Amino acid sequence: MRPVWSGSLSLGLVTVPVRLYSAVEDHTVRFRQFQRGTEDRVRYRRVNERTGKEVDFDDIVKGYELDSGEYVVVEPAELDEIAPGRSKSLDIESFVELDAIDPMFFDKTYWLAPAKDEFERPYALLLEAMRSSGKAGIAKFVMRGREYLALVRSGDGVMVLNTLHFAADLRDPAQELPDLPGKAKARGKELDMAVNLIDAMSDDWRPEEYRDTYTDRVRKLIKAKKKGETITPAIEPGEPTKVVDLFEALSKSVESGKAKKSGAKKPPDKKDLSSLSKADLEKLARERNIKGRSKMTRAGLEKALKAS
């Protein structure tokens, strides 16, 4: 896997050369574009709107439009020159509790690994320190001509970097949505029933149980069309719930949620610890106050948990 960025992670006077790798793989089905009724591909080109001629990528510069309608032309090299730290520095400025960050701020996820084997010791030290403290570092860096706010935290044997939105990037719902929902008052019995529904549907987070069913259906559609077959359309969304039927709908939903929960998988017992990730094992060890857990291997954690 090729790194998407390389530079140095700095914490105080400790500097570790690192490389950034994408931790997410896009599995979306990719389509080409064709003109309907033909096998002719449709392509996009960079064209000079005055001459109609195609322009080489190296001959393209950026232009910022002023209020007057004129443009200020900026060369790509000029953007690189003003990048803080020449785009090679990832400086941790402070540490925060992970739970203190609203999920709205999270953008993309990456792995942060040492650039060479010789840097593994200081890297491992910072990784273990963050894991032990339970806190995450806030940092900024420049990649591909853009400055990013980032969260650096301990993962399962590797540092995880999440790019974050700046506060200025987030829209204010009070300004963007003049008729904010929530002005209507929740009624007592309906509110109690809604809370009961949430309780009935509450469960442990098991990401492996969720699949991209839409992409699965797209693949089935492609196979069916290849064979000249048809595919069953997806179920249409339900009708909006009428206000007069709200309490009844909530009541039925609670019963359905309880039934579904009773038939769901139970949390792993001591014999099923092998199905958990190391991070989950460490969490269980903390909950059970197992001493020396921070230095244990995966096998050691399983053994200690089974004995607890």
- Residues 153, 237, single domain; the answer is no
Region 93-106 average pLDDT = 93
Q: Quick one: 113 and 19 in the same domain?
A: yes
Please say whether the beta carbons of 89 and 145 come within 8 A. no
For 210, half-sphere exposure in the C-beta direction (CA atoms, 13 angstrom radius) is 4
Residue with tokens 């006077």: 13
Higher pLDDT, 166 or 234: 166
Residues 131 and 17 in one domain: yes
pLDDT-derived band at 238 (thresholds 50, 70, 90) equals low
Asked if residue 141 and residue 117 are part of one domain, the reply reads yes
Point out the domain boundary residue: 141, 169, 197. 169
Count of domains for the chain: 3
Q: Is residue 146 domain-shared with residue 211, that is, in the same domain?
A: no
Check whether residue 114 and residue 149 sit in a common domain. Answer: yes
Cβ within 8 Å of residue 250, ≥6 positions away = 190, 193, 194, 196, 197
In a domain, 250, yes or no: yes
Whole domain around residue 12: which residue ranges? 5-26+81-169
Mark whether 15 and 144 lie in a shared domain. Answer: yes
Which two tokens mark 224?
A: 């069916």
Give residue-wise pLDDT tens across range 158-167. 999 999 999 9
**What is the per-residue pLDDT across 182-230, written as a single tens digit (0 to 9) for each?**
666 777 777 887 888 778 777 787 878 778 777 887 888 888 888 888 7
Q: How far apart are CA 144 and CA 263, in angstroms?
A: 49
The yes-or-no verdict on residue 237 having pLDDT over 70 is: no
Say how far apart CA 56 and CA 150 lie, in whole Å: 34
Please report whether residue 73 resides in a domain. Answer: no
Q: Is residue 183 part of a domain?
A: no
Residue 205's SS3 state is: coil
CA 68, CA 192: separation in Å to the nearest integer? 58
For 77, the token pair is: 């090299």
Q: Distance of CA 293 to CAs 122, 163, 274, 279, Å?
A: 21, 30, 17, 11
Could you tell me if 22 and 129 lie in one domain?
A: yes
- Residues 15 and 137 both lie in one domain: yes
Q: Provide the sign of the torsion angle of the four alpha carbons 54, 58, 64, 69, taken in this order.
A: negative
